[in-house]
Amino acid sequence: MSAFTAGRAASRAALSALATGWPLAVATTARADHPMANVRTEGLSPLALALVTGGLALAAVLLVVVIAMLLTRTPSASEQAGE
């Protein structure tokens, strides 16, 4: 193993250790765990939240499908002829 390959392997190992250890090292109390946590309003019911989340997921999937269809479409005969 050359010095360059060994250096790359060491830097990859260090980067891997940093990527896995960093979130654990900086983990602190969640922002929701503050003294005023009892004052919050209730918000949406679980059913309404599920419906909104499902609708947003469906819209995101439809957007991805439309973009994929536009990017992979074949040019029409007039576009191929250069008119």
> pLDDT tens, position by position, for the chain (83 residues)?
566 566 677 677 666 666 666 666 666 656 665 565 555 557 778 898 899 999 999 999 999 999 999 999 887 777 777 65
Backbone angles phi, psi at 38, to 5 degrees: -75, -10
> What token pair was written down for 49?
């939240």
Rounded to an integer, what distance in angstroms lies between the CA atom of residue 83 and that of residue 79? 6
The secondary structure of residue 75, as a DSSP letter, is P
Global pTM value: 0.43
Rounded to an integer, what distance in angstroms lies between the CA atom of residue 64 and that of residue 44? 28
